[in-house]
Every structure is written in structure tokens, then in C-alpha cells.
Structure 1
């Protein structure tokens, strides 16, 4: 709901601050006073085209700020703001600001966060509907008719959307499986060759490192074999170092008791024998580990080179060859078992398609029944609005299967025929300006609380009518405002003006060469005088004042 509007330097409006409440508010004034300027300013704030002609002469820029009641959580508007990272402070109004430079260029802000004009239009579409002589928004857009009918029918469209999503997901899984099998089938010979080659090689994780280590050890053994043999000869036989040490120890053992130093020497010799034995053991172990066997070395190198060559061929590391074997084998197996898998996926697609068709058909039937009720409700509103010969029809048309979607299987559009025997056609193509506004009012009254923005503006909906028809228009505007909507009506009809809960008068004044447009909220006395002016013209008579009093009493 629009709560406040601030305008600066828009055409004839130098500065204007207005506050609004729920219910029906009417705006009146002399022809040319500037009612259209007020709507143009609001339109600018809602994202309409930024025309530099709107900037007041002599000003470098214009600005419009509109304040709205915060949107309830869970609404489409709240979701739109959240998707665009626009914060909503609890209990704080939603502020929209638009600035327009005289030399071109405009900027838009939502809650003081910069936004694009496209986003501003989208946000504005959720906040306000403007219906007038050149209406191109709101109920004239067929794209929104289906949602309005669904709201009127109180239809649960979520089940259809979920069924459609499940159907599409099943189709995507089937398409992916078919593509994978087709790719595998094209590569079948290559896969068979690769799997056979890899299985023949039988690579094992970690095998390359073990082979490389063994090969390096044997290559070192080959290089140091001569030196190692000479060293080991010093340990072998009766002339070897360990044997000589043991002989010396036996002789020294017989003499050790003759002097303490001999005993110490014997202990050192015993330790030397132990170290020599340990060294000999290590030498033999090293010799065995680094034993150079040309056949073993060749076998290790051959295996190592085969592993590395196979890894290069497939663009993987040698340790990944075993996993690659399993992967290629699985792809090959998928070709054999693919038919059975496809059959299950095809059955899932058929099942989900049937579930979607069932849900969408039920929704379509619900729409058709709601369309008949809506047509009857609108028809009941047309005669009092001097549209007796007109007919209204809600078209619910089955779409071709390729156009079925999350919204169902129907195309919905509101159509009218203004004369007997004339064909039905879209609202905007047939109705004149005044007729169009009255059609929209009839439809809005029939739809009541179902869908649409909380703030609705009707621009001169009473053009070309008066008397009982104008009174009927006023009654319906008041009824629609009482259904939880905020309505603002620009009117020349005293019958409509009398129905307003709030009344604003728009006036134009001149001081020398400076012309200004102003807007004032009227009290009860001011309302009577303004409605009397609307009844009598330039000179307000007592009779007009009395008639205005009667209109206000009837409206109350």
C-alpha cells in the first residue's frame, strides 16, 4: 500500500509531499490542473521511461520518492527483493526513489540500494496497478491472466509444478543414460582392446615405486660389486680380520690375569670382535640386497617401462592404471546392461509424465469451472457500468504438448466483445479508453481480493458517463477498496468523488511567469465545496452545495 509520495521539480510541481491511507482516495481538479503530472511522477518512481521533459524548467534534476507498507514475508515481492539482496528492516516502509537529470540520465534506489530500471519496473508492478486511457500494464497483459484465474479458483498449482519438475528430471536422466550408452557403443572396439591390454598387464597400485626402487638398488650393486667383494674377502677364511682377532683374543685370555691393562685390552678386543661380526653380517645382507642379476634387472626394467608406457598412453599416473582398468571395464559392461537400465528409465519417464498429465488435467478442469464463474460475475457488473451490450469471456485453451510447463497445459486470456454479434478479442484491442477502464473495474470487482497489487489507480474511469453510471462506478470503487485494496481514482465525476474516504484537490496557480501545481487534502467542508464546484461549474451555487451535501450523505 502506498503510504507517502514526495515529488520535487516534476513539470509544474515544485515541491509536494502527500500521505495516503487505505481505502478509496479521489483526486479532483479543473481540467489542465495537473492530474496527469501526479500520475507521471508516480509512474517515474515505478520504473516508467525517464523523459527529461518531466524535469521542471530551471531545475537541474527532479526526484520522486514513494513509500509503501512493507511486503509480507512469503510474498512474491519479498522473494524478489531477497533475490536481489535488498534488505527489508522489520516494520520499516519500503522506499523507492528515482532521480532524473535535466541533461539526461536517471538513477533508481530501493531502500537506498541502487537498482536497475528493469528491476524497479518489476518491483513497481508488484506494488501498484495503473489503469487509464493508455493502460499497458496490469490486467491487459495476457501473461498474468492465468495466475489471476488460478487465484480466483483458489487452485493449488504447486502440485503441477512439482510433477512437471519430476517429469523433466526423469527425462534428463534418460537422455544422459542414452548419451552415455551411445558414446560407449561408438567406442566399443577401443574399450575392448584397452580392457584386454590392461588386464594382460595387470597393474597394481604402488607397483611402479617398488620396481623403481629395486632397479635402482641393482644398478648400484653393479657399480660397487668389485669394491664390495674385496671388502668381504678381508672378512673370509683363517686369514680374515675376524679370525685373526679371535686368535689374538684366545692368547690374550691366558695372559689377562697377569696385569690389569691386559684385562682391559682383552675387553676391548672382545668388543672389536662383536663389531666385526656385526659388520660382516651387514655386508652379507647388503650384498644380497644389491645382488646384481642381469636377468632380474632386465625383467624389472621391462615391467617398469611397460607400466610407464601404458600410463602415458592413457594420460594417467602409473598408480592409476588399476582404477582405469575398472572404469573402462564398467563402461564396457554398461553397453551390455544398458538396455535393461534404459527400460527402467523409460518407465520412470512414462510414469512421471502420466502423473503430470493427471495433475495438469485436474487443474485445467478447475480453471474451466472457475472461468465460467468469473464470466458470470463480470457479466453481473457490466450493465450498471453502461456496458449492457458487452460480453466478457475467459478463454481457457489447451496448449500443444510441446508447450506444457510448470504452470500447466492451458493458455488463459480475458476477452471481450463490445457489440452484439462481434467476435471476442483481447481487451486492449477492442475497448475505447472509457470502456476499457470500466471493463477493468468490473473485472477487478469480480476478482475482489484475488491477486494483483495492493494499490490500484484508475485514471478518469468515469470519462464520458454520468448520473447512475457514475454512481455505479463510485459504488464499485468503494466496494473494491473495502476488499483490502487501496484505490486512488482521478475523476471528474461528483458521484465518484463523493464515495471517497479521502479527497485530494489538484490546483494550478500562477505568479508572474511561474506556474505551479499543488495538491491538498480536503476536510469535510472542503469536500462539499469541491463537489459543488464539480456539479455547477465555474460559479458554485447554493443549489449545487445542497446537492453535494446529499451526495455525501448517500455515500456515507
Structure 2
């Protein structure tokens, strides 16, 4: 659940630090006092859209930080660990800044994250229902998603969509192959010829490196032989040969070292030098004996290099890339040969269709009972929302296979007894739509695993006994999870476990928003204000106290 919300320089909020409680909490106050601004700030921390206009006038940046309880286990914890984000202290802190230029940054538990990551984490933590959320229920995709969530079939719906995409991909490939059979045949013939040509060349990357090294030796063989001979003369065969001189001075210093131990280090160095010079001499003689001037082999090597370079130039690649180019040609040829085999393509397409049909059938089997139970629950709720005799139905109609399955989902309603069921999108009364939408939101929220539910003036358009029933429904939700509701209705606020009043005040010539947690007597005054307006009488207070005592 949401534990703490810290807001700085957000719209008309200068500094606020709010501590939240469990259960059902009501946020009340005059219109324009900033009630919805608090939820907008929370939405920003959850990864919602940020705009430069959200930064308080005259400030450089807005900052929002929301602290939630971190579940000891579950998908959210697994996701945090996959993202290598800290999970040690049992809390999850989402932080967001937004500067006056519109640039935004985000953190989770102090680690910098992308907005996509912040939004992903937020989806597990809180669900915000806006005051116009019932209008979204008019969309077919929203209705389908609500039913699938009620059925616990959202992962299965995603699998159906994936299977449909794969099936359609294979259908597309088969049709393209049929349409391009002639050009495909020409391309296969060209690829086969190119592969044979490259295979005849017998190119091998390792051989290419070796032959270049051999060419370097053969091309410079005369210089290598001459240099080796000169060095051999200097070491052992000429006047003042290095090896002879080293052996002589080594023997001389060794004799002197017998008289003065201080020469021992010099003796060791000279002895080592003499040994290394002798080893170099023997190695150089072996190298010279292997060297040979072979114009014929040099010509062969050069011819091979020219052949490889010509092939690489022909296909506009580096010689080293010829092996990779062959792999690409081979893969393309195999793909074309597969597409040229109608039986093979038909088998793959049929198998993909079979997988889609199986997944879609499983989804349909989940949707049918969920549609019945949701229909009954919403119909029951309508009876208490001033629509006695009204009916609600989640209609499933068979349709052509699509990424959404093999049936359409449509919410239908009859607001009054004797009326025929009609599409929810065709309900004429805005008040009826508001009440039905509220019932759907409250009922389907019970299916959500999100620990914090937020309702922003979703009770617009209702009042009296209906408002009291809505408050009771929200209070029931609050028994299982944290529920926050921005409301103007005293009947709804009176059902809350706790209540805050949001008000505007003037400070240093600027308008700011403040939040006051209300005690028992203060709640009576606030409910009375909501009931009676400017002039609050003793009777109004008694009525407010009575409403609170009944909740």
C-alpha cells in the first residue's frame, strides 16, 4: 500500500509530505482546492505523462516521491530483481523530477530508471480511476480487457494474439511465395550459381591469413637471406665476431673475479650474454638453411591472392567476409527452397492455425463463465444504484478469428424494467452511464491484485441514497486493500475510515494547496460543510454526525 507521498513545487503545491493509512480514505475540499492535483502528482510518480506546466510557477523543477510497501514475494519482487534494482528494506520508493523545460528523470529505490521501468513498477502498485473513466468503458478493447481481467485470462489473451500473429505471418509468406514464384525461381538459380562459384574458389579464412603471411616471406626472401648472412658474419664468421669477443672477455673477467668478488655480477652478465649470443647464432643458422628463393611458389601464392581479391571485389565485400557472405547466401537459398515447397508451407501454416485454435478455444472457455458472473454482479449492483429492474449483460458473439480470439465482447445494458438490452455505447443518459460505469469499476477492481485503488471524482452525477451506496461499496473494497477517493459527496466521505481536507491559501502573494488530516470533530465540520455550504447550522452538524455514526 501507499505509505508516503512527498510533493515539491507541483502546480499549486509548494511542499507537502503526506502519511497514508490503510482502508478507505476520502479527500475532500472546495472545487479547485487541489484535490485532483494530489492524484496527478501520484500519477507522475507512477510513470504518468509529465508536462512543463506541472512545475509550479517560478520554480526550476517539480519533484514527487511515493513510498509503497514492498511485497515479500510476487511478480513485482521478481521483476525488481530481474532489473537489478534494490529490494532490501521492505519499501519501494518511486521518485520523479520534472524541470521547467519539460525534461524528466526517474528513480526506483535510488537507482536511475527509464520512464518505461517506472511505469511498469507503478502498474503493480496502484490503479487510478479518473472522473471520466466510465467513458473509456465504451470502447470495445476496454470491455474485452475488463472481462479477461475478471476471468484471470490476460496472459492467455496475450498468447492468443501471439499465435494469431504467427499464423498470419505464415499465411502471408505462402501468398507471397505463390505471387512471386517466377522471380523466386530466378533468385534461387542465381544463388545456387554463386554458391558453386564460391565453393570452387575454396575460400577459407584461416588459409587466407596463412597465404598472406607466406606471400610476405616469399616476396622478401632475398632480403631475408641477405640480412641473415650479414648477421651470421657479425656473430661468428668475420673479424671481431661477437660470439668470440664475448667468450674472450667472459673468460678474462672470470679470471679477475677470482681476485675480486666485486666483479662477480659482471662475470654473470657476460656469461649470460655469451650464452644468448651462441643460441641466437644457432637459431639464425637454422632459419637461413630453411630460407629458399622459390619464384614458382611465389607466383602460385600471388595467383591465389588475386583470385580471392577478384571474388571479394565482385561481390563488394572484404576478402575476410567471403565466408560470412556464403552463409547468408545459403540461408537465403534454404528459405527460398522452403517457400517453393507448397506442401511444406501448408504444413507449417496448418500447425500455426492449430495452435491458434487451441489457444482461442481455451480463452473462450475462460470468457464464457466470467461473462455470466460479471453480468450477474453488475446487474445486482445496478439494483442499488437507482436502476431497479435494470439488467447488464456481457455478450459474446462468434466472429472471424482475430488477434482477440474467436468472439467479440460487448457490454449491453437495460437501465429500466422492460427495456431491451442495448450496447453500453448507446446508453443515452449520462447519469445512467456514470452509475453503470461506477458499478463496473468497483466490481472489476475486486479482481485486481493492485494493493492501492484510487478513484478521482468517479461519483460525479449521483447523489442521495445512491451516493451512500457507492460509499458503502468503496468501504467494502477498503476492507481488503487501500482505497483513496476524491469526492464532493458527503455520503461517500462519511463512509471513509479516514478523511483529509484540501484547501487553498495565500502565502507570500502566491496560492498554495494544503492538506489537513481531520479528527472526529473536524470530520463533522467538513461533512456539514459538504451538506450545507456556507451557512452551517446546528441541524446540519447533527445530520453530519449522524451520517458518520452510521458508517
Same fold per TM (> 0.5)?
yes
Alignment of 1:497-512 (within 5 A): 497-510=493-506
Residue of structure 1 aligned with 2:453, choices 441, 456, 460? 456
35-44 or 163-172: bigger deviation: 163-172
Cα pair distance change 1:31/1:532, threshold 3 Å = same
Contact 1:181–1:334 (CA<8 Å) still a contact in 2?
Answer: no
| Residue 446 of structure 1: aligned partner | 443
Q: Distance in 2 between matches of 1:100 and 1:345?
A: 55
- Give the alignment's TM-score, normalised by structure 2: 0.64
| Residue 55 of structure 1: aligned partner | 56
Contact 1:392–1:414 (CA<8 Å) still a contact in 2?
Answer: yes
Residue 383 of structure 1 deviates from its aligned partner by 2.6
Cα pair distance change 1:182/1:443, threshold 3 Å = same
Alignment of 1:341-380 (within 5 A): 343-344=343-344, 346-380=346-380
Cα pair distance change 1:486/1:10, threshold 3 Å = same
Deviations 1:176-208 (A, max 9, x none): 997999857645488479869988x999999x9
Residue of structure 1 aligned with 2:128, choices 122, 127, 130? 130
- Root-mean-square deviation (CA, aligned residues, Å) is 5.5
| Residue 150 of structure 2: aligned partner | 152
| Residue 548 of structure 1: aligned partner | 544
Tell me, yes or no, if structure 1 residue 527 matches structure 2 residue 526. no
Contact 2:76–2:121 (CA<8 Å) still a contact in 1?
Answer: no
Q: Secondary structure at the match of 1:93?
A: strand
Size of the alignment, in residue pairs?
465
| Residue 18 of structure 1: aligned partner | 18
Cα pair distance change 1:550/1:506, threshold 3 Å = same
Residue 302 of structure 1 deviates from its aligned partner by 11
Cα pair distance change 1:334/1:376, threshold 3 Å = closer
Residue of structure 1 aligned with 2:514, choices 508, 518, 534? 518
Contact 1:394–1:413 (CA<8 Å) still a contact in 2?
Answer: yes
Deviations 1:16-64 (A, max 9, x none): 22111222101223444432333343344442342526515x5454333
Structure 2 unaligned regions, length at least 5? 223-288, 314-319
| Residue 92 of structure 1: aligned partner | 91
Contact 2:55–2:61 (CA<8 Å) still a contact in 1?
Answer: no
461-470 or 150-159: bigger deviation: 150-159
User: Highest CA radius of gyration, 1 or 2?
Assistant: 1
Residue 377 of structure 1 deviates from its aligned partner by 1.3
Residue 360 of structure 1 deviates from its aligned partner by 0.9
Q: Secondary structure at the match of 2:384?
A: helix
Q: Secondary structure at the match of 1:385?
A: coil
Q: Distance in 1 between matches of 2:371 and 2:382?
A: 16
Cα pair distance change 1:130/1:140, threshold 3 Å = farther
Contact 2:96–2:106 (CA<8 Å) still a contact in 1?
Answer: yes
Contact 1:48–1:121 (CA<8 Å) still a contact in 2?
Answer: no
88-97 or 352-361: bigger deviation: 88-97
Structure 1 unaligned regions, length at least 5? 221-285, 291-296
Tell me, yes or no, if structure 1 residue 467 matches structure 2 residue 464. yes
Alignment of 1:377-388 (within 5 A): 377-388=377-388
| Residue 263 of structure 2: aligned partner | none
